[in-house]
Amino acid sequence: MTDHKKIKTLATGDRTIPPVGAKMIPIYIMGREYEVPESLTIMKAIEYAGYSYTRGCGCRGGICGACGSFYRFIGDYRLYSGLACQTVVAPNMVVVQLPFFPANRPGYDLENVAKDPHEELRRLYPEVFRCVGCGTCTRTCPMDIDVMDYIALMKRGDLKAAAEKSFDCVMCGLCASRCPAQISQFTAAMFVRRVCGRYILPKAGHLEKRVSDVKAGKYEAMLKELLAMKQDDVKKLYVEREREPDMAEAGKWMPKDTTKL
């Protein structure tokens, strides 16, 4: 406990349903103490304390990467990090959520990198080649990605492997926030995945066909029809739509009605 005056919770966020009988624990949000139910995530605890999100929250499911957070525990020198929507609060957690993390985001035109993508990576992200191999990024990543390894693959020019290894990145920026070489690993990895999709992976025939269908105006009439419908009818159409079963074998399922494909 600190000298901070204990502040009562102000409101219960719409999406926060505290479990009945949950034990209340003290946590510190932006330096102020609150009592919150022990089983909440950081995100729900922040809402329970009366704050509402206008930024720093998206999917609430560990996918969008909008909620990177740092925390320490009173009496523990170590700094921890995680996603606010995935990390459960614990007593005496002192937490701050990053609203945004500034990263190196140079502009580029993918059409200009065909000749030597590795050289273009060096030009756009020279800091990647200054990695000291400390492993802090890998230890920080909430997605358990071996960030240091994909940086090493980038340095070696194996862009396909780097793209595959970084595929699960949710762009939270936590790795970049701790890097002593000031590398923006996640934006460099995005560049590499774009290069990979554009030049290295085989082209998806069905995607090319769909793009040419769109360009040829195949869906214009269907869109107009949808736009002219009443909102309730659109909702009904959505609810009753034919859906691919969750466990369907990849590439095997087709809807009964193929007229709109």
Chain residues in the site for ligand SF4 (CB under 6 A): 65, 131-137, 140-141, 143, 145, 147-148, 151, 169-175, 179-181, 183, 185-186
Closer of 29 and 170 to ligand SF4 (Cβ): 170
Contacts of 221 (CB under 8 A, 6+ apart): none
60 contact choice in ligand FES, ligand SF4, none (CB below 5 to 8 Å, kind-dependent):
ligand FES
Structure tokens at 143: 């997605």
Site for ligand FES in 172-211 (CB under 6 A): none
Report how far residue 7's alpha carbon sits from residue 112's, in angstroms, rounded to the nearest whole number. Answer: 56
Question: Judged by CB under 6 A, does residue 67 bind ligand FES?
Answer: yes
Cross-strand pairs, 70: 81, 96
Strands 68-73 and 32-37 turn out to be unpaired
- Report the DSSP pairing between strands 24-29 and 93-97: parallel
The residue among 61 and 245 lying less far from ligand FES, judged by its C-beta, is 61
Q: What is the DSSP letter of 252?
A: T
Which of residues 16 and 166 has its CB atom nearest to ligand SF4 in the complex? 166
By beta-carbon proximity to ligand SF4, the closer residue of 133 and 245 is 133
Name the token pair of 22.
């949950």
Q: Which residues, numbered 76-105, are part of the site for ligand FES (CB under 6 A)? A: 83-85
